[in-house]
Every structure is written in C-alpha cells, then in structure tokens.
Structure 1
Amino acid sequence: MTSTLTERYIAAVTKSLNPAAQDDVRTELEASIADAVDARLEQGRTQEDAERTVLTELGDPAALAAGFADRPLHLIGPRYYLTWWRLLKLLLIIVPVSVTGAVALGQAIAGATIGEIIGSAIGIGLSVAMHIAFWVTLVFAVLERTGADTGVRWNVDQLPEPQVKEAPRAELIASLTYLVIVTGAVLWDHFRGFFPTGGEHIPILNPELWPWWIAGLFVLLAAESALAIAVYGHKRWNRGFAIFNTALAVLFVSWWLTLLGRGQLINSDFVEFAFTGAVDENVLRILAVLTGFTAVGIAVWDIIDGWRKARRAALQA
C-alpha cells in the first residue's frame, strides 16, 4: 500500500523518542506529510512520486528525531566552540612543547644518545598532545550535552588592542647595541679577561678558536647587523628577512653546538680555575647540556620572533 513508506518513516523517527512524546510527534508528522503529498498531487505528480519526494525532503529520520528531542548532533556546538578552541590551542602550544623540552633535557643529562633523546622527546610530546586534545574535547562534549555553564562571558573589554606597527629605528638600535656588546665581550675576553686570577688572565672561550672559529662568529654577527639595517631600510619585516634570520639562527646554534660537543668551546684552563682543580666530569656534562639547550632555546625564539614580525607586517600591509 502507498502509505508503507510514510509509516516506515514515522516509525523510524519516533522509535528513539520518549514514549510520552511519540504519539504527538506521530500525529504531527502524519498531518504534515499528508498535506505535503496532497500539494504535490495537485501539481499532477503520482502518489508514489509525491510521497517519495516529500519523505526525501524531510531528510534522515534520525536527524529529524534529534530535532524533536532537542539532542545536538554535533560534538561541540557554537555555544562552547570558541572557548574549546582557544583553550585547546593554548594548551597545545604550551604543554607538549614544555614536556618535550623537559624530556629531551632529562635524557641528555642522563647521557642518552641523540636517537634516544629525539625518539623519547617526540614520542612523549605527541602522546601528551593527543591526551590534551582528547580530554579537553571530551570535557566540552559533556558540557554540550548537559548544558552546563562554563562561566565564560564575552564583553567589550576583551576587544583586542590596535596593533602597533613595529618601530624599525628602536629595533635597529637595540639589535646593533646587542651585537656591539657581544663583539666587545668576545674581544675583551680574549685580550683582557673577565675574572681576576691573581696572575695572567684566563679567557673563558677557548683561545684555540682564534682566528677562524671566532672569525666565523664575527661573520654571523656582521650578517645580523646587516639584517637589522636592511629591516630598518625596508621599514618592515618580510618573508625574505624571516628566512635569512632563520638561516642565521641555525648557523649560530650549529657553531655553538659543534664546538660544545667537541669540548672546544670553553677554555680548559678556565674550567680548572673555576672548579679549583677538582673537575667533575658529570658536572661538566650537565653544564654543557644546559648551555646547549639554552642556545637552542634562544635560536628557536629568534626564529619564531622573526616569522611573527613578518606575518604582522604582512597583515598591516
């Protein structure tokens, strides 16, 4: 009989509803479907064609039932989405990076190989990121279905401040001042020394780095100066400057870690003087690891800062 499709459709809609609401929904659907079918019959459609068209337009019975039951068919809706997304981004930026760095540092101090350090740090970092994504999403999915209030309210005080354009002159002065200080410190360390020893001065950096390794360092510092001057002349950062800054940061950290790994960065006479002759190899290794991680951290921050400035300049343009 021609009503079979309609009966099957209504049964599919009402089966998941509260029994107390099933009769009302069934009555409402029967009336609305019948009216829609009659309207198409008046247009010259056949009974079967009209019925199929009306039921197809009503859509999936499960979706229609969810509408009647006021059940969300999304994991996180607009009420909670922005809060969920902002919190998730913040946690994914801070927690996995911090955990990865801490694991890598701990493995390095424990004397693990490079492969073990990278494998452990990446594995645990990814695991932490997945746990954060899962549990934060689960919490907000529960909030969505229970209708709980997060207490988060938007107000006009949360409007972002107008972005201030970069100050190329101030940035140039700061960069050149820093580079002059570093250059002066290297020269002073070599020719005068920083620590009173009661006799001949003892440089901190290994004297054997002169002239070629130190020359390489001065070339990198000169390139940094040229970059600062170029940014000042261009009045803003761009992608090319960010790429050049990234290359300089990678070269600097490579210079530092190469010498540190070979044990050639710090003057051995200074180490013996600082530790009054009792040099503990484990202490030296831990200090080397901490120094290396500090150099990498500075380089990573410099790279991120360069790309951030380039992106901001592009948006302002």
Structure 2
Amino acid sequence: MDLIKLYIQEVTRRLPDKTRNDIALELESTIYDMLPEDYSEDDVKRVLETLGNPAVLASQYNEKPMHLIGPKYYEAYTTLLKLCLPIAAICSFIAIVAVKVFSPVDEGAVLETMLVIMGEGIWNVINVIIHTFFWITAVFVIAERADGVKKHSPLSSNFRPWTPEDLKQSIYVPKYKMIKSFELSCGLAWTAMWGTTYFYANHLIGIYENGDNGLRMVTTAFNQEVLLSFWPLIVLLIGLEIALTINKLIKKQWTYKLSTFFTIHQVASLVILVIILTHANLFTPEFLNQMGEIFTTSPTRIENSIIWGTITIFVIFAVWGMIDVYKRAAIKSDLNRL
C-alpha cells in the first residue's frame, strides 16, 4: 500500500490541482486491476515498473507539455536557428565595422583601431546571437503551448503535418552540386572584409614600423580620395555579391542560371578592378618610393608589378571559380543517383 500511495503521489504532484483527485482515483483503480488477488510487494513493484517513471506518466495525463520545444516543432525550430543565427551574426559585425569606418581615427593608430573593432564586433555578435536565440525560442515555446492540436508528430518545413505529397516538393541534390550554409556565411564575411578594407584603406594598407607605441603605419599605400571616387562602382559590386548570396540561399544548388550570374559578377569585378588599379594617382608617391628602396628597383616597376600581379591572381581564381560552378551545375539532380 505504501508503494502504491507514494507512486500515485509522485504522479499527481506534477499535475494541476483540479485534476489530481480524479486521476489519483483512476490510477489507483488501474494499479489494483493489474495486481493479483493475493499480491505481494514484488507484484506491486512489477506493476509499477510496467507503468513506468511517474514523471513520464504524469506528462501523459498533463495537457501542457513538460518540455520547452517538443518533436512537433523541433525540426522547424532548429532549421530557423541555423538560418537566422549566422545572418544575424554577420549583419551585426558588419554594422559595427561600418560605424567604425566612418569614425575619426588617429593617424597611424591602425592596430589600436582594429583591436577595438574586433573586440566590439565579437561582443556585439555574441549579444545579437543571444537575443536572436532567445526570441526564436520564445516564439516556438509559445506556439508549443498555444497549439490546440494534441498530435505530437513533427511538422514539415511548411509547418503542416507531413504527408507523402511533401515528397514532390523535395529534390535530390548531389553533395558536390549542393550550396552549403558555410559557403553563404563565408561569402558574406568576405564581402564585409574587402568592403571595409576598401573604404578604410588609408588606415589599413601601407608600410608599418614597430615604434615605441607598437606597430604603426608610417606610409599609406593608396590615395583615399581616388578610391572614394569609385564608390558607386564598389556599391554596385557589393550589391551584386549580396544578390548572388540571396540567390544561392534560395536555389540551394548550382544551376546554369546561377552559374551565369556568378560569371557576370566575376567579369564585373575584373572590369572594376582594372579600372581602379590603372588609375594614374591610385598609389601614393611616398609608398612607391619606399617600396622601390626596399626592393632596389624603380617606383614604376613596383607599381606595374602590383597592378599586373593583382590582376593575374584575380583572373586565375575567377576562371577557376567559373569552371568549378559550371561543373557543379552540370551534375544531374535525379533519383537514379540515390
């Protein structure tokens, strides 16, 4: 009797007050029905083991879920987290960098500025990730408890119960043809890095010396006024890269149209790069003279080496990238490959 009462108590204490008495009577009746007429303590233990853990049994009686997010919403919840967290983190870091780019900076204090950007950027990313995680979780927790449907089977990606018809919306994508989330994150991060470097070049790129106050820039490499004169082209290029990333996110696999978009982006990037690099006053005379002294050659040869070396490297990577995406687009997405 003691074991039975204790078991019923452990079950009912986890239930609302208004239902405890009724469920206690029902559970007591169930237990005695499962016992033989002349039962022993071992018989009681066997029946209680059959009924299982009191917490699990209580959850079956309880109308409210005893978990934050159950199997019904779990897949949709994790999918949304994987999609939103990287985007929120990258956007928050870009926002911090953008603010610092247009803030006044002491001449040559590039190292201190970069440390501040990294410190504030990392802290802001962590803060945004925590807030994004909290609010997405809160929305799904409310949905879990506000949902009047008691079925607990997982929902499909369209937030409806799964049916065989959902398979018609699925496409088998070979691994090499697939665009991974890592590629999207790296693409956005690269856009943020080179865009920041371009608009901040006079504080980032140049000749450094290690002085009493640490590493400081003594000669800037680029004429910032010349770089800023091309800002419409740079904004256009950044817009193309963001549009390309959005298309990758939607398509999730390389297609011929997406590969053509990628090729247009690469060609446009090359044209803009050549226009900027071949501008007469792009490099500062002080930078070219000092580099000529370091490498014991003329400033003109230094300038030509930088220009054509950069263009050559870009062309090699651009051609390799275009060949690769077209090869990936050529792979057939059919079920025969399963």
**TM norm structure 1:** 0.55
Q: Please point out which of 5, 18, 31 is paired with 1:33.
A: 31
Q: Is the 8 A contact 1:171 1:228 kept in 2?
A: no
Give, in whole Å, the separation in 2 of the partners of 1:13 and 1:183.
71
2:258 matched to 1:166? no
Q: Tell me the SS of whatever aligns to 1:210.
A: helix
Matched letter for residue 213 of structure 1: I
Matched letter for residue 167 of structure 1: Y
Q: Please point out which of 38, 63, 74 is paired with 1:81.
A: 74
How well do the aligned residues superpose, as a CA RMSD in angstroms? 4.1
Shift of 1:228: 4.2
Q: Tell me the SS of whatever aligns to 2:69.
A: coil
Give, in whole Å, the separation in 1 of the partners of 2:267 and 2:15.
73
Q: Is the 8 A contact 1:33 1:54 kept in 2?
A: yes
Give, in whole Å, the separation in 2 of the partners of 1:130 and 1:38.
56
- 2:143 corresponding residue in structure 1: 143
Give, in whole Å, the separation in 2 of the partners of 1:124 and 1:173.
35
Matched ranges for 1:28-177 at <5 A: 28-38=26-36, 47-110=40-103, 111=105, 113-147=113-147, 154=160, 159=169, 165-167=254-256, 170=260, 174=264, 177=267
Q: Tell me the SS of whatever aligns to 2:328.
A: coil
Structure 1's unaligned 5+ residue stretches are 191-201, 238-308
Give, in whole Å, the separation in 2 of the partners of 1:136 and 1:53.
44
Give, in whole Å, the separation in 2 of the partners of 1:27 and 1:53.
20
- 1:29-72 Cα offsets, whole Å, 9 max, x none, are 22322233329x8xxxx822222122123222233223212221
Shift of 1:85: 3.6
Residues 117 and 74 of structure 1, relative CA distance in 2, 3 Å threshold = same
- 1:301 corresponding residue in structure 2: none
- 1:14 corresponding residue in structure 2: 12
Give, in whole Å, the separation in 2 of the partners of 1:228 and 1:87.
30
Sequence identity of aligned pairs in percent? 26
Matched letter for residue 93 of structure 2: T
2:320 matched to 1:227? yes
Shift of 1:231: 2.7
Larger Rg: 1
- 2:205 corresponding residue in structure 1: none
2:275 matched to 1:185? yes
Which is helix-richer, 1 or 2?
A: 1
- 1:280 corresponding residue in structure 2: none
What number of residue pairs does the alignment pair up?
220
- 1:196-232 Cα offsets, whole Å, 9 max, x none, are xxxxxx4445574522212321331242255147537
Residues 206 and 148 of structure 1, relative CA distance in 2, 3 Å threshold = farther
Shift of 1:81: 3.4
Give, in whole Å, the separation in 2 of the partners of 1:29 and 1:72.
20
Matched letter for residue 5 of structure 2: E
- 1:236 corresponding residue in structure 2: 328
Q: Is the 8 A contact 1:80 1:140 kept in 2?
A: yes
- 1:112-141 Cα offsets, whole Å, 9 max, x none, are 621111010011111111111112212321
Residues 224 and 123 of structure 1, relative CA distance in 2, 3 Å threshold = same
Residues 34 and 113 of structure 1, relative CA distance in 2, 3 Å threshold = same
Shift of 1:174: 4.0
Q: Tell me the SS of whatever aligns to 2:67.
A: coil
- 2:311 corresponding residue in structure 1: 218
Give, in whole Å, the separation in 1 of the partners of 2:14 and 2:88.
42
Q: Is the 8 A contact 1:103 1:121 kept in 2?
A: yes
Shift of 1:171: 7.0
Residues 16 and 135 of structure 1, relative CA distance in 2, 3 Å threshold = same
